[in-house]
Amino acid sequence: MELADAHALAEDVEQQIRLAAPEVCDVQTHLEPLAEPTPGRVVGHVRTEIAGIVADVTGGVPRTVRSLDTDDGLVVLVTLGLPGETTLAAAHDEASEVEERIRAALPDVADVVVHTEP
Residues 16-55: pLDDT tens digits? 999 999 998 888 888 776 655 555 466 678 889 999 999 9
Same domain, 24 and 76: no
Same domain, 42 and 15: no
Q: How far apart are CA 74 and CA 71, in angstroms?
A: 8
CATH code of the domain in which 60 resides: 3.30.70.1350
Same domain, 40 and 74: yes
- How high is the pLDDT of residue 40? 47
95 pLDDT tier (thresholds 50, 70, 90): very high
Q: What's the domain count of the chain?
A: 2
pLDDT in tens, 79-88: 999 999 999 9
Same domain, 104 and 78: yes
- pTM here is 0.73
Q: Name, in order, each residue with C-beta under 8 angstroms of 61's C-beta and a sequence gap of 6 or more.
A: 51, 54, 55
Structural domain including 8 reads 1-31
Same domain, 44 and 92: yes
Same domain, 54 and 110: yes
Q: How far apart are CA 107 and CA 38, in angstroms?
A: 19
1 pLDDT tier (thresholds 50, 70, 90): confident
Q: How far apart are CA 57 and CA 43, in angstroms?
A: 21
